[in-house]
Structure 1
Amino acid sequence: MVVKKFLAITLAMVLVLAMSIVGCTGEPVAPTKVVLGATLPVTGIFAGFGEQGWGMQKAVDDWNDTYGGMYLSEWDVTVPVELIIKDNQSDPNQVGPQSTDLVVTNKVDALLSPNAPCDLHDPTTAVATDNEVPSIIGGGPFEPWYFGSQGEVTPPYTWFAGFAISFPSGAPRNVPGYTMVDTWFMFMDAVGALSNTNGIAGVFASSDSDGTGWYQSFPALMEDYGLTVVGVNETLGFFPLTTTDYSSIVTAWKDANVEVLWGNCPGAHFGDLIAECYAQDFEPKICLAARAALFPLDVESWGTTPPLGYGVGCEVWWSPAYQVSDGFVGIGNRTAASLAADWAASAGNPPLNRGIGSGYMETQVMLNAIHEAGSLDGAAINAALADTDLDTISGWVNFDPVTHFSAVPLAFGQWFYDSENEDEPFTQYIVASALSEIPEEDSPIFPLPDWWP
């Protein structure tokens, strides 16, 4: 009797569970919402990257406002789209657990990863693969992710819309304007670097994956260009993230008479490095700082007395000047200019963070894929991502079937300083562009402003 009673209770529980899944009529229950999830560095040393979450949310809002939600043809229903963002505090060790929590606890239908150092999106790629949840990375560079952490094995559920260091794309992107190499050397040509400097260069990079990939790639490219790069065999300028004293690096550059300075590291580390340059009265004529000089949040932190960020340059991901007529199309009536205007009107009236375009773009691509799939089935959404052919707020996106990569355009910018503008003393302007659809906004600064003593 006890066994029969136990079996009866067990059968009843199974029936209740089944009813909760398929409903009283025996039919599957339609979804009530679409949920996207992202783990972002909202706080910490990479907080500038975390502001892409604003662009992600804006894309979700635009979709809901334009279409009344997501139409799912499988169910013939329209449901609201929601976005859940978790703050990983710029700690790569939190990215994996948070991505898992988004999938397992929050039941997200797709994952979004920011344009950020690959340590901050690699774990999400792994979670997407393990759980067969579609995922998109909205940035770059491509090589440290694909050739580094992924070992040239394309993860089946992750797609990468962004930029590369030098990885070539097929037509029509097989022209200058789609890689870091294009943009950086385009700037060098614009200022006549080989004839207007002594050609002696120093390099710097932090020892995380992003910096390591840069240090392994760029010095040789600089040598090929015609520069003499000092100290690479001794890994001069390559430092761990725990470094606080840069005096020996700067002394070596100064002794070698370096006039061109290139590198890649977090903004806080570059702030300490350039402050040491100032302390030693070492002033290069050119200073390009990938990652460090992307966001006003970081540049402003280096100070204004003197303005250490004045003239520092890097690649530019996105511009409010992008035009719909050139294929830069948002959701509904959204334009690049209106996205920037809404950002400027947001709480605190912040200076422009160009990463909002990347956040918006990747969310736009994912929403389009879910719409095309008409379903929340992961495999169906993933297949729709593979078929993506979409003009976005950052340009045309269509993924290579082998690498899952789609390149978006880049330009080159420098930070200008206005001592009379106390609220926004630094503004980044595009000073070199290889693409007619990306207008240059000012002339290049060369040499660096003479604000050293």
Structure 2
Amino acid sequence: MSTFLHPSSGGRRRRILAPVALTASTVLLLAACSAPTLGGADGGGGDGENVIRIGYVTPQTGPLAAFGEADSFVLDQVRAYYEENGVVDAAGTEYSVEIIVADTQSDPARAADVAAELILDDGVDMILASSTPETTNPVSDQCEANQVVCITTVAPWQAWYFGRGGTPDQGFDYTYHFFWGLGEVGSVYSEMWAAVPGGGSVAQLLPNDADGNAWADTTTGFAPIIEGGGLAPVNPGAYPNGQADFSAQISAFQDAGADILMGVPIPPDFTTFWQQAIQQGYQPQMATIAKALLFPSAVEALGADGENIATEVWWSPSHPFSSSLTGQSAEELAAAYEEETGRQWTQPLGFAHALFEVATATIAASDSVETDDLRASLAGLTTDTVAGTIDFTAGPVPNVSLTPLVGGQWRGNGDGTYELVIVANADNPEIPTGGEIELIDWTGR
């Protein structure tokens, strides 16, 4: 184990744990040990100004790019906020904020690399990362190894927590995560599955990635949830992301007479699967699809075949929460996004905004921007955001805060566009529904 003071760290002490099991990033870690010391106690500003540097890592290109679609809007908003207000810590020291953005290109290895670059080259004091375990896990691992505070979201907490080696009692020192988990999405899906007459079998479309493996886990994944509802899981096995032929999965689902479909594919893969399923005559009455069907563009790509496909809803204009930074309600934030971009609101909008709310609250409750003070602040943090209350003291495991979840279905507007209508809210009745649960109508297809 070696200890060093990183350039621009202002003397903030960090460790490198060797060896780090990320090959490309290990090169960066080793190179940093011989880097010259720059900057000073001003937090790296170089001109006496107190500056806190925040790295922001998301997939802005590649097959997961839809998750980063709202990034530019959110960054414009929060940069304007910080320029006007700065951030003041608990000791009364005011900081300006520099946000350094990195694109993972939807690649876990690159996510690790850009996180290492933010830490070792840019000297960030904190990293925020979002959108699927392919981003959150490698970024968190780099931060944990380098003793840098990291806050992540938009990945089921089990995939983030257990996927990184956490145990029910032993979590992490520097990395924190807020989002829902498989229990929450299982409850929402079960509420919608109950509309299918006779129940029966549930087809599982699960890829061989961190999400798919977490959902497929026979102990903590979806099989116990399905069986607990008196249904039978049908899992023909994991498939690789980017698969071109889903005939084997479709055949297995047809043979089992699975009237319910669930899964967590990436957006392009579900489009491929759904088109092939229709061609081959597989017609489930209910389809609850995570990840791939979160975005209007992904549903519109299906044409009329997107009608009544269901998904989890973790943020919407109907959510009764407001931003602690701008004061905007969820409805106002979504409206501002639509007016500025000309695009329909999208779920990651609220959680991208909430990341900066949590970061700001962490700094405000911290005695300084030293790493140990920031992580102590984060460990005891409870704060209200546009995505709901984030409480890292409540569990369900260390380092994790749950967020509310409801269920929705995509309903066509008759012009090729779709609206996501909340139809299942039994676990969170404070979030209003906008319609009733409906089965997929295959008449005329």
CA contact (8 A) 1:72 1:375 kept: yes
CA contact (8 A) 2:166 2:172 kept: no
Question: Using the alignment, how far apart are the partners of 2:443 and 2:107 within structure 1?
Answer: 35
Question: Using the alignment, how far apart are the partners of 1:229 and 1:332 within structure 2?
Answer: 45
Do residues 239 (structure 1) and 242 (structure 2) align? no
Do residues 225 (structure 1) and 244 (structure 2) align? no
Do residues 109 (structure 1) and 125 (structure 2) align? yes
Matches within 5 A, 1:350-365: 350-365=343-358
Do residues 427 (structure 1) and 419 (structure 2) align? yes
Residues 80 and 451 of structure 1, relative CA distance in 2, 3 Å threshold: farther
Structure 2: which amino acid aligns with 1:89?
Q
Q: 1:44 aligns with which of 43, 55, 62?
A: 62
Question: Using the alignment, how far apart are the partners of 1:350 and 1:70 within structure 2?
Answer: 31
Task: Report how far residue 280 of structure 1 moved.
Answer: 1.0
Structure 2: which amino acid aligns with 1:285?
Q
Do residues 181 (structure 1) and 181 (structure 2) align? no
CA RMSD of aligned residues (A): 2.4
Residues 290 and 253 of structure 1, relative CA distance in 2, 3 Å threshold: same
Structure 2: which amino acid aligns with 1:213?
A
Question: Using the alignment, how far apart are the partners of 1:407 and 1:339 within structure 2?
Answer: 22
Do residues 252 (structure 1) and 252 (structure 2) align? yes
Matches within 5 A, 1:63-102: 63-64=81-82, 68-72=85-89, 78-102=94-118
SS in structure 1 opposite 2:172? coil
Q: Which moved more, 1:314-323 or 1:40-49?
A: 314-323
CA contact (8 A) 1:55 1:359 kept: no
Structure 1: which amino acid aligns with 2:79?
D
Residues 352 and 252 of structure 1, relative CA distance in 2, 3 Å threshold: same
Structure 2: which amino acid aligns with 1:187?
M
Question: Using the alignment, how far apart are the partners of 2:189 and 2:77 within structure 1?
Answer: 30
Q: 1:384 aligns with which of 377, 382, 386?
A: 377
Which structure has more relative contact order (CA 8 Å, sep 6+)? It is 1
Give the aligned partner of residue 324 of structure 2.
330
Task: Report how far residue 151 of structure 1 moved.
Answer: 3.5
CA contact (8 A) 1:52 1:355 kept: yes
Residues 413 and 58 of structure 1, relative CA distance in 2, 3 Å threshold: farther
SS in structure 2 opposite 1:428? strand
Do residues 339 (structure 1) and 324 (structure 2) align? no
- Give the structure with higher Rg (CA): 1
Residues 330-389 of structure 1 deviation map (CA, whole Å, 9 limit, x = unaligned):
314222111101110123x11111111111112101111112215221111111111212
Give the aligned partner of residue 315 of structure 1.
312
SS in structure 1 opposite 2:123? coil
CA contact (8 A) 1:330 1:336 kept: no
Question: Using the alignment, how far apart are the partners of 1:200 and 1:372 within structure 2?
Answer: 49
Give the aligned partner of residue 12 of structure 2.
none
Residues 35 and 57 of structure 1, relative CA distance in 2, 3 Å threshold: same
Question: Using the alignment, how far apart are the partners of 1:451 and 1:120 within structure 2?
Answer: 40
Task: Report how far residue 154 of structure 1 moved.
Answer: 1.4
Residues 271-296 of structure 1 deviation map (CA, whole Å, 9 limit, x = unaligned):
11111111112211111111111112
SS in structure 2 opposite 1:112? strand
Question: Using the alignment, how far apart are the partners of 1:405 and 1:46 within structure 2?
Answer: 23
SS in structure 1 opposite 2:100? strand
Matched pairs, number = 399
Gaps of 5+ in 1: 1-16, 167-178
Q: 1:160 aligns with which of 177, 183, 189?
A: 177
CA contact (8 A) 2:323 2:354 kept: no
SS in structure 2 opposite 1:345? helix
Structure 1: which amino acid aligns with 2:238?
F
Structure 2: which amino acid aligns with 1:155?
F
Task: Report how far residue 31 of structure 1 moved.
Answer: 4.0
Residues 126-181 of structure 1 deviation map (CA, whole Å, 9 limit, x = unaligned):
22112221111123301122122224241200111111112xxxxxxxxxxxx112
Question: Using the alignment, how far apart are the partners of 1:389 and 1:346 within structure 2?
Answer: 31
Question: Using the alignment, how far apart are the partners of 1:73 and 1:31 within structure 2?
Answer: 18
Question: Using the alignment, how far apart are the partners of 1:323 and 1:396 within structure 2?
Answer: 11
CA contact (8 A) 2:108 2:135 kept: yes
Question: Using the alignment, how far apart are the partners of 1:391 and 1:18 within structure 2?
Answer: 38
CA contact (8 A) 1:418 1:426 kept: yes
Question: Using the alignment, how far apart are the partners of 2:295 and 2:102 within structure 1?
Answer: 21
Task: Report how far residue 201 of structure 1 moved.
Answer: 2.5
CA contact (8 A) 1:260 1:286 kept: yes
Question: Using the alignment, how far apart are the partners of 1:419 and 1:118 within structure 2?
Answer: 35
Question: Using the alignment, how far apart are the partners of 1:398 and 1:314 within structure 2?
Answer: 25
Task: Report how far residue 249 of structure 1 moved.
Answer: 1.8
Do residues 405 (structure 1) and 397 (structure 2) align? no
Structure 2: which amino acid aligns with 1:351?
Q
Question: Using the alignment, how far apart are the partners of 2:157 and 2:89 within structure 1?
Answer: 32
CA contact (8 A) 1:58 1:360 kept: no
CA contact (8 A) 1:283 1:452 kept: no
SS in structure 1 opposite 2:182? coil
SS in structure 2 opposite 1:346? helix
Task: Report how far residue 59 of structure 1 moved.
Answer: 5.8
Structure 1: which amino acid aligns with 2:318?
A
Task: Report how far residue 410 of structure 1 moved.
Answer: 0.5
* TM superposition score normalised by structure 1: 0.82
CA contact (8 A) 1:54 1:359 kept: no
CA contact (8 A) 1:59 1:364 kept: no
